[in-house]
Amino acid sequence: MNSILLILILFIPAFASGIAVFFVQKKGTNFLKLILSFSGAYLFSITVLHLIPHVYQSTNTSPEVLGIYVLAGFLFQLFLEQFSQGIEHGHIHSEHGHHSHSFPIGIMFSLCLHAFLEGMPLAATHQTELALGISIHHIPAAFALGSILISTQLKKNTIIITLALFAAMTPFGFLLSKAISAGEVGDIQQYFDKIMAVVIGIFLHISTTILFESGSIDHHKFNKKKMIAVIAGVAIALASFAFVDEHGHDHSHGEHNHQEHHDHDHHDHNH
């Protein structure tokens, strides 16, 4: 995928959904909840279908060590949520109590760190699936962040700049990782599998939390819609998995045949 297109896919949905808090009534967020359910299902599915199999095919690190990094990512996300209050999976807590008039530094820092880490593996592989997963799950996260910011006494311009900063963190993680992997800063190729394992742990935590907590909604009609959204997320992930798997299999099979043919010709030439 083209780098500019990738950056736009990562930046625009997050920034637009954050800005949407200025125009959308808080009570009319059922559609956002459906997006949240869809993103949880899609994120979980691409993690299981694409990311985990890929990272465990790596020859650089043993499976046991990769498992430790996955667990570390899961626990790290659990730690981050002590500061972010669960905004990564669309939680809006400003309605529960006091309205702070100060800038939510802890929330912003943990969200930006989380978004930055998600962008780093994009320089390696599975750009399309991973970018879509990140982009979709940042929609409710950015909306929740915007809701927190708008409940403070911050100026509108400050809120917009803050949302733009959050939306830019994943592209920044991607660009920095790409620059390092290209040898412009240093050699990060050997660490891509470990970084991906950490992101897998983060994704597993976020996606399962979304799926479990979205089932606590009382309205039965909305639960039906939520189930449709979940099935749609899984279906799209499965469709992309089937397409990529078939394309990759054919491509690798062709390369294998070409190599065999080349070796056979070389052997005949020697004779």
The DSSP string of 186-200 is: ---GGGHHHHHHHHH
Kindly state the tokens that stand for 22: 């200025």
Query: CA dist 215 to 41, 131, 185, 212, Å?
Result: 12, 26, 45, 6
- What is the pLDDT at residue 68? 94
Residues of the chain with pLDDT under 50: 94-99, 217, 219, 247-269, 271
Q: What is the pLDDT of residue 25?
A: 59
pLDDT in tens, 14-43: 999 889 888 875 555 667 777 778 888 888
Angle at 130 between CA 246 and CA 244, to 5 degrees: 5
Distance between CA atoms of residues 142 and 241, nearest Å: 27
Token pair listed for 65? 């060590």
User: Is there a contact between 146 and 218 (Cβ–Cβ < 8 Å)?
Assistant: no
Contact yes or no for 115/173 (Cβ under 8 A): yes
Give me the half-sphere count of Cα atoms (radius 13 Å) on the Cβ side of residue 130.
27
pLDDT of amino acid 266:
44
Beta strand residue intervals within 129-219, DSSP E: none
